[in-house]
Amino acid sequence: MDIKEVQQKKAGGDLVLIYENKLTSKEDIKDFILEGEAEITFPQGRMRLENKLAAEEGQKANYVLWCPEEFPSDIMITWDFYPIREPGLCMMFFAAKGKEGKDIFDSSLQKRTGEYIQYHHGDINAFHVSYFRRKEPDERGFHTCNLRKSYGFYLTSQGGDPIPDVADAKPPYHIAVIKKGNIVIFMIDELEVFRFEDNGESYGPLLESGKIGFRQLAPFIGEYANLKVFQLNAE
């Protein structure tokens, strides 16, 4: 059984491709929205993200790159990941909406510049999964992937990260986020890392449709390719 078949089985239904971006050139991301400052290049024909500001500037050196599309509630997001330089950390935001159901780029919302607090205690609600967590000493000593839900800073699920350090990595790693109803599943290659069932009460109301975005913590350098979004059980 190949990776796509495993993912489809985990998703529990048909997958219909609704968005595809190979992330091979600046033209591919011309409509993406960057919050914070980053160097975005394509030296290997893949999107490379790197901090523009020195890591010593703390949260000011971090950033988020949003895909401009609005996606439905039940989706699977997949992408290929290449770790290039550590330390650092990677995230994927999904189901991101502004407060009161507004678009995250609504002019009435607070300005965001990549600093973390703006995303978990600001004007947006979202899930975000963090992986390749190698920023702090405790993260480098014990590798996990985390799922958090905002508004708030709720750690809802956690699992072991199978991706080794850069020196031993054999990319690409095929990553998938499955969001179906109140279930979130995170996978790396064929491995299910964690599964979260949201009761819509403990960590706030259920999240539905919204936007997706990449986030990195300085001084990490990572490359990304073949971003796809599938709708689940689409009629």
7-66: pLDDT as tens digits = 777 777 789 999 999 999 999 999 999 999 999 999 999 999 999 999 999 999 999 999
What is the per-residue pLDDT for 7? 77
Mean pLDDT of the chain: 96
Tell me the C-alpha to C-alpha distance, in Å, between residue 112 and each of 104, 215, 230: 10, 13, 28
Q: Which residue has the tokens 């992937």?
A: 145
C-alpha torsion 151→11→92→102, nearest 10: -40
Residue 235 in this model has a pLDDT that exceeds 70: no
144-174: pLDDT as tens digits = 999 999 999 999 999 999 999 999 999 999 9
Residue 234 in this model has a pLDDT that exceeds 60: no
What is the domain partition of the chain in residue ranges? 3-232
Q: Are 98 and 153 in contact, with CB atoms under 8 Å apart?
A: no
- pLDDT bin (cut points 50, 70, 90) of residue 1 is low
C-alpha torsion 89→109→38→219, nearest 10: -30
Question: DSSP code of 71?
Answer: B
182 or 14: whose pLDDT is higher?
A: 182
> Per-residue pLDDT averaged across 78-103, rounded?
98
- Rounded Cα–Cα distance for residues 179 and 5 (Å): 17
For domain 3-232, the CATH class is: mainly beta
pTM for the full model?
0.96
> Per-residue pLDDT averaged across 95-106, rounded?
97
What is the per-residue pLDDT for 2? 73
